[in-house]
Structure 1
């Protein structure tokens, strides 16, 4: 995996993509495109006060993250496409974000066990120089296995749910509690690559 130190030795102008995320999984996914990129962590406020749909929610936050990074860049560094992304889990019309503690994680996993929930991932692409914006989202249905309280506790004890929306990670040991999905796997991971590649075409960037 390319480290931040290795990335920083390349002039900013050479980079096509600027990922506005500190998420290791999103960094690994963006690397799979084989395009030059850098990481610029967004410190955007992730609170949304007004009542909006999950799809609107992830699009609003994705764009806010990308726009915040654009504001952080010096004028001489505004080259490339900034990518912001946000993911939420929705069950019974409740948006499930990252758990505040282990009991909150247990509450989420207990509610979803043996049921189907939705994962929404938003993506925003912003031209660092011109400010041109393209925003979209995708949704995937996820079927979770029925589990005992003991199984849920053992999963929580791995530490994996701690910073994950919905308290699980499909790309980790959390894969063992998922029986199937309907839709894009990478939407559940946190960055829908197929959607993103289509959006980048709006900026004349081709992945293939």
Structure 2
């Protein structure tokens, strides 16, 4: 029987989709919500915005009492880039509807920033994953029905690929998990960069 010690992983995000993705990959993250005000960063390119928000979330959680000794703390944040503009969560149904009317039949780039802090060594590794998303040419009735579910109001870019919005995504170029909110291949690279093995995180 293996005596391999498991390195604790703390997820500094309230996203159930990120947690579910990590759990499906064999990890058992401890969720500690950062409470970071995402509106404090403005006028940054979309990919840089995603990374800096991830870094802020990670830093906000590292010193918390709920973080076990020797843990890796992961901060993540996602934004959709469309026409050079960074689109986070829509503020209301009208904005979500306008977003979809602008996105349908077109492509955007979903950027997910990742910041991983090793509390044992104090070292930090960070990077942004980017995936091109091709949106279906959905009709106004479909947009209205989707917005009415409430789902697009709570996610970056006003869509999911792993929920009700999945049928409205015609295809992607890049990592599927990155669109959900956490890129597993990219996270593995960050774990290795900090001197750990990916299987060390398996529960």
**TM-score scaled by structure 1?**
0.87
Q: Name the residue aligned to 2:94.
A: 103
- State the secondary structure of the residue aligned to 2:161: coil
How many residue pairs end up in the alignment?
195
Quote the RMSD (CA, aligned, Å). Answer: 1.9
Q: Give, in whole Å, the separation in 2 of the partners of 1:15 and 1:44.
A: 25
1:1-208 matched pairs, under 5 angstroms: 15-73=7-65, 77-208=68-199
Q: Give, in whole Å, the separation in 1 of the partners of 2:121 and 2:110.
A: 31
CA contact 1:35–1:207 (8 Å) conserved in 2: no
Residues 120-166 of structure 1: CA deviation (Å, up to 9, x unaligned): 00100001233211000111111111122111101111221120111
- The runs of at least 4 aligned residues of structure 1 exceeding 6 Å deviation read none
- State the secondary structure of the residue aligned to 1:146: coil
| Larger RCO, structures 1/2 (Cα 8 Å, 6+ apart) | 2
Q: Name the residue aligned to 1:7.
A: none
CA contact 1:87–1:119 (8 Å) conserved in 2: yes
**TM-score scaled by structure 2?**
0.89
Q: Give, in whole Å, the separation in 2 of the partners of 1:49 and 1:69.
A: 18
Residues 93 and 33 of structure 1: is their aligned pair in 2 closer, same or farther, counting only changes over 3 Å? same
